A and B are shown apart, each in its own frame.
Chain A
Amino acid sequence: MTHTVLVTGVSRHIGARVASALAADPDISRVIGVDTVPPPSLTRDGDSSLGRTEFVRVDLRSPDIAQVIAAADIDTVVHMSLVSAPSRSGGRAAMKEHNVIGTMQLLGACQRSATVRRVVVRSTTAVYGSSPRDPAVFTEDLEPHDGPVHGYAKDAAEVEGYVRGFARRRPDVTVSLLRFANFMGPGVDSPLTRYFTQPVLPSVFGFDPRLQFIHEDDAVEVLRRMATEHHPGTFNVAGAGVLLLSQCARRAGRPSLPLPSSAFRVLGGAVRRVGLVEYSPEQVRLLCHGRAVDTARLEAELGWKPKFSTAAAFDDFLRSHDLRPLGGARP
């Protein structure tokens, strides 16, 4: 059977990598990538890192996406277009609109389509929130005590709500919802990777959270398999094990600077203005209480485990940024 796959959010790193991985699959006849901005590879030097992916510039918030789906007889949709931090120009309102309204438009178009058989949606483990009152390790079925109330995590929780609604209305479509831990790897650019490249790592006084990462290679592989195989359901995706924030700082050879949590509110605004790192309230909560998820369901479903553990993914990120612990090189 031939496939035509639509990938949203191809202009960002993971989206582009997923598109090119799918483009390399001979069973897939066409890969169509959409995003609001052209991929950097197209604008800069015309490098074909997307492979034979056809790029269509569509604003997901507009109903144009329905035309793309109808015109190309799309059967698989991989929705990667979730923005985790407000852009400097657009701000939080634009980010929310992009994430939530964009998903609604896309799912609306899928619901109308007679050809769409499979929908894969990227979500985040941030939907579990970070709270001292929740179990140490989240499974997919767990209802968190303090659900997300703002920011990216709230967007993701709303997106998941629409995805569940879509799955109810179109039971004939395979819906895979993937909750990814923080992406980590040489090419990842996220608030968290920017955090770790600072000369000093501000941490919350008295807290040492557990963090979990998923290597970009593993994330791409999971998305590729979800897009080409039949795996309905909600899955946590994370590398094995956890790292404590203090451990991350030591591995990066960066001093950490414990600050009272109230300082982050002031500091957050100050550094945002200079355009450095983001300290959103949800990120500060993550820096307080941390989060770990259980990935047994994914491993059983795919019969596969991420190649990089949380620690290995972080070390790979450090290597690519030439960060090493104090007084030594990591092999």
Chain B
Amino acid sequence: MSVPHEEEGRVIPISAAPSFAEPEPMARLLAFVRRRVTGDYEVDEFGYDPELTDKVVLELIRPLYNHWFRVEPVELKNIPDDSGALIVANHSGTLPMDALMLQVALHDEAGRALRLLGADLVYQLPFLSHLARKTGHTLACPEDADRLLRKGELVGVFPEGFKGVGKPFSERYKLQRFGRGGFVASAIRAGVPIVPTAIVGAEEIYPKIGDLKTVARLLGLPYLPITPFFPLLGPLGLVPLPSKWMIEFGEPIRTDEYDPSAADDPMLVFNITDHVREVIQQLLNELRLRRGHAFPPFL
């Protein structure tokens, strides 16, 4: 903001001078509460509420990120500072804890809001659907993906979907089939790079050794896992095992050399999808070796 010229020589009394010191924590808290109570905050057209996300939701997850899973992000330099990109990651862990940890890593360590494209099941549930919107995520559909990428947002997808997050423990670190490659088409249309991402550690939090298929079908869920502690220990079985996590962001794969109309070429889209999948699998294998034991220093 520019200061009008006639004010340049004016003497500002000390008491009226703006304070450049950080406001008191108490004052900050009160200002936060005032903004929330009076509705004086902004949400974007997708319903993303950055303040609620940063100050409340992520604040609740941060202890898990820092102390429980000790998440270690690698190669953050591959995340663009302010332009659009598509993060494509492996999905695992029975409950999508990896999505939350990826969000914290990008928010806190790369200063970027992650806008995930979620399964439609999420958006049909009360609470969860609106919590997902408030924390910046939206329904996985080409229109929303294109719109976010055009706005220069950092969009995240888990192309394995439920096949990945709900796979048995014996299949750990084996990428499942990627969908139809809609994410690749969106990246080509927007001309943004695809950042292949490997998340190591989520596989061990709830080792799924069985599936209550009939009950799951009755409840309308994609699966209902049996882990060594769930449902055996009841709610206690919901505590995730404290595995050591690492998240590596791979070398971006450029898509701007293709014409946006190439998004309609199924062969090209399939080829790029396969390539992205291979890169992620390779990253996963290397990162898993690099991490070593899942539960250091013992196992």
Contacts and interface: CB of A to CB of B under 8 A. Distances in A.
B43 A242 contact: yes
B47 interface: yes
Nearest to B143: A135
Interface residues of A, number: 34
B41 A247 contact: yes
A313 B132 CA distance: 27
Contact of B127 (A136, A139, A206, A294): A206
Interface string B85-117: 000000000000000000000000000000000
Contacts of A328: 34, 38
A12 interface: no
Interface in A112-137: 132-137
Contacts of A135: 139, 141, 143-144, 147
B43 to A, nearest CB: 6
Nearest to A253: B38
A133 B119 CA distance: 10
A244 B43 contact: yes
Interface size class of B (residues with CB under 8 A): 20 to 34
B119 to A, nearest CB: 11
B221 to A, nearest CB: 17
Contacts of A327: 34, 37-38
Nearest to B124: A132
B130 A206 contact: yes
B160 to A, nearest CB: 21
Interface string A82-116: 00000000000000000000000000000000000
Interface in A126-162: 132-137, 139, 142
B47 A242 contact: yes
A16 B49 CA distance: 38
Contact of B37 (A206, A248, A325): A325
A225 interface: no
B262 to A, nearest CB: 21
B45 A242 contact: yes
Contacts of B139: 132-136
Contact of B123 (A133, A209, A243, A248): A133
Interface string A223-250: 0000000000000000001111011111
Contacts, number: 91
A234 to B, nearest CB: 17
Contacts of B42: 241, 311
A139 B37 contact: no
A291 to B, nearest CB: 11
Nearest to B146: A135
A137 B42 CA distance: 17
A164 interface: no
B126 A251 contact: no
A14 to B, nearest CB: 24
Contacts of B167: none
B39 A139 contact: no
A248 B49 CA distance: 14
A251 B130 contact: no
B140 to A, nearest CB: 10
A209 B133 CA distance: 10
B277 interface: no
B39 A249 contact: yes
B145 to A, nearest CB: 9
B78 interface: no
B131 to A, nearest CB: 9
B256 to A, nearest CB: 23
A250 B130 contact: no
Interface of B: 34, 36-47, 49, 120, 123-127, 129-130, 133-134, 138-139, 141, 143-144, 147
9 contacts: A136-B47, A142-B143, A204-B126, A207-B126, A207-B129, A207-B130, A243-B39, A244-B134, A251-B38
Interface of A: 132-137, 139, 142, 204-210, 241-244, 246-251, 290, 292, 294, 311, 325-328, 330
Given A135-B141, A294-B147, A311-B42, 12 more contacts: A132-B124, A133-B120, A133-B123, A133-B124, A134-B139, A134-B141, A206-B126, A207-B130, A210-B133, A241-B42, A250-B37, A328-B38
